[in-house]
Structure 1
Amino acid sequence: MSEWVALIIAMASACAVVMAVVVLRQRRPIEESADETPDVIEYITMMIGVVYAIVLGLAIAGVWEARGAAQDDLFREAQSLREISDRAVIYPAEFRDQVRADVDTYVSYVVNTEWSYMQETGGITEKGDQLLQKLQNDIATRSPASDLESQGYQPIMDRVSQASESRNSRGQNAGPTMPGVVWFGLIGGAVVTVGMLFALQIRRTPRELTLALCFSVLIAFLLFMIWDFDNPFSRSVSVTTQPFEDLFPSLNLGG
């Protein structure tokens, strides 16, 4: 089922629940006038709404920051590998081609194989670790044969370390980032916040129903947005392999 279909169903369900509760309440005799709602109930309702708005804002900021960090890590990984390939020009042709082949093999594997695995399982593969380790070993175990190679050795190794760190960060960020207890609070808070509407003696007037439905739809949409951003490498607004595709056009990764 498409995520957008799930969003529509969630919003429609929120509207249906509000409508059902309003209709059922109207069928029961109401002894208290809607114009005589105690001030304390209005105050509590307002405070609950403010507190829940703060919680929602923090949750949205958290998942957005996690997605941004994942995107930065991916770009750093791709950029480091691109620089390794470019800096390999200091080596003799045979070893230069070997280094570049190691980089291309790793990049192709990440985009064509590991990426789908990461989306499905929320983790990275041992094969990817082995390919990056091979690149590191090939460079680290070769003794510099000239002053130029000696000068270029440490910068290249720094880029390999940076790529490895970015890969590890990508593995840690794969999968949902929000703890279950936070989701419990978000969903429970939504139920309480929407439920407090009925403490204000909402009636079936078009204006009140419209406001209640819009409020419920907004809560459902925000929760869906948090869920969608919660996994940086999956779902509809996920981080893509575009940095690899842009920095390694010769591999035709987007094809």
Structure 2
Amino acid sequence: MSEWVALAIAMAAACAVVVAVVLLRHRKVGAGKDNSETPDVIEYITMMIGVVYAIVLGLAIAGVWEARGAAQDDLFREAQSLREVSDRAVVYPAEFRDQVRADVDGYVTYVVNTEWDYMAEHGDITDKGTQLLQKLQNDVATRAPASDLESQAYQPIMDRIGQASDARDQRGQNAGPTMPGVVWFGLIVGAVVTVGMLFALQIRRTPRELILAGCFSALIAFLLFMIWDFDDPFSRSVSVTTQPFTDLFPSLNLKD
């Protein structure tokens, strides 16, 4: 089932439940009871619960959005560092230059075509990807510079490989859901309490009030879905993509 279909079903279900509860509640209460007024204390408590839950939702959305942005930046830093390694290898003799570029191309191809799917499914990076990057580092580190030009290029290339390794480690840490379980517990319980407070108000069966109550519950469902969707930066519908690699290494046969 598509995630957007699941979202539509969840929003429709939340709206339908609220409307159904309001209608059943009025049917049980009967027409003789006065529903025109709500005690001031209930209105105040409902308002405060709504404000507190809105703050919690805002912080959660900001947190998952920031995590996704950091994951995107780390991925670009990894791809850019490897692109610079490949470009700076021009100072080496043809045989070693081709070896360095082959190491870079092999690592990038493996990450995009193989490791990315594994990371989205298991929430972690692979040992083979780490070994491929380590091979690139060892090849450059163990070759003594043969000229002044190679000596000048050696440290910048090692720095870029180190940056790529650091960005890879960050990518591994950001893989999988980032929101703690206790936060999800608070978000779900808060949603139930916030929507449940609607029933403490004297909502009548007028179309306007039923529509507003249904839209409010559907909005809560949408915001929770959005947090869940952003919670895993490398999977789901709005995940970070491999575009930095495909843009910087257009000559490779990389998956879109």
The TM-score with structure 2 as length reference comes to: 0.98
On the 8 A contact 2:109/2:253 being kept in 1, the answer is no
In structure 2, the partner of 1:134 is 135
1:106-121 correspondence runs (5 A): 106-121=107-122
In structure 2, the partner of 1:20 is 20
What amino acid is aligned across from residue 253 of structure 1 in structure 2?
L
Once the two structures are superposed, what CA deviation does each residue of 1:24-50 show, in whole Å capped at 9, x if it has no partner?
201212676322311011001000000
| Partner SS, residue 36 of structure 1 | coil
In the TM superposition, residue 172 of structure 1 has moved relative to its aligned partner by 0.3
Contiguous gaps of at least 5 residues in structure 1? none
What amino acid is aligned across from residue 86 of structure 1 in structure 2?
D
In the TM superposition, residue 203 of structure 1 has moved relative to its aligned partner by 1.7
| Partner SS, residue 53 of structure 2 | helix
| Partner SS, residue 205 of structure 2 | coil
Distance in structure 2 (CA, Å) of the matches to 1:32 and 1:81: 73
What amino acid is aligned across from residue 142 of structure 1 in structure 2?
R
Distance in structure 1 (CA, Å) of the matches to 2:224 and 2:29: 34
Going from structure 1 to structure 2, the CA distance change for 1:130 and 1:235 (only over 3 Å counts) comes to: same
Once the two structures are superposed, what CA deviation does each residue of 1:218-241 show, in whole Å capped at 9, x if it has no partner?
111000000000000000000000
On the 8 A contact 2:37/2:202 being kept in 1, the answer is no
What amino acid is aligned across from residue 237 of structure 1 in structure 2?
V
In the TM superposition, residue 105 of structure 1 has moved relative to its aligned partner by 0.2
Is 1:33 matched with 2:30?
A: no
What amino acid is aligned across from residue 218 of structure 1 in structure 2?
L
| Partner SS, residue 236 of structure 1 | coil
What amino acid is aligned across from residue 13 of structure 2 in structure 1?
S
In structure 2, the partner of 1:252 is 253
Distance in structure 1 (CA, Å) of the matches to 2:200 and 2:243: 50
Distance in structure 1 (CA, Å) of the matches to 2:92 and 2:251: 21
Once the two structures are superposed, what CA deviation does each residue of 1:133-162 show, in whole Å capped at 9, x if it has no partner?
000000000001011111111100000000
Distance in structure 2 (CA, Å) of the matches to 1:7 and 1:246: 32
In structure 2, the partner of 1:213 is 214
Distance in structure 2 (CA, Å) of the matches to 1:155 and 1:195: 60
What amino acid is aligned across from residue 20 of structure 1 in structure 2?
A
Is 1:177 matched with 2:165?
A: no
| Partner SS, residue 237 of structure 1 | coil
Distance in structure 2 (CA, Å) of the matches to 1:65 and 1:99: 35
Distance in structure 2 (CA, Å) of the matches to 1:169 and 1:33: 60
In structure 1, the partner of 2:3 is 3
In structure 2, the partner of 1:157 is 158
Distance in structure 2 (CA, Å) of the matches to 1:203 and 1:5: 31
In the TM superposition, residue 90 of structure 1 has moved relative to its aligned partner by 0.7
Is 1:45 matched with 2:46?
A: yes
What amino acid is aligned across from residue 139 of structure 2 in structure 1?
D
In the TM superposition, residue 13 of structure 1 has moved relative to its aligned partner by 1.0
Once the two structures are superposed, what CA deviation does each residue of 1:1-57 show, in whole Å capped at 9, x if it has no partner?
110011011101101210221122012126763223110110010000000000000
Distance in structure 1 (CA, Å) of the matches to 2:215 and 2:195: 11
On the 8 A contact 2:113/2:255 being kept in 1, the answer is no
Size of the aligned set, in residue pairs, is: 255
What amino acid is aligned across from residue 73 of structure 1 in structure 2?
D
Once the two structures are superposed, what CA deviation does each residue of 1:193-212 show, in whole Å capped at 9, x if it has no partner?
01111111212110100100
In structure 1, the partner of 2:84 is 83
| Partner SS, residue 250 of structure 1 | coil
In structure 1, the partner of 2:195 is 194
Greater shift after overlay, 29-38 or 208-217?
29-38
In structure 1, the partner of 2:67 is 66
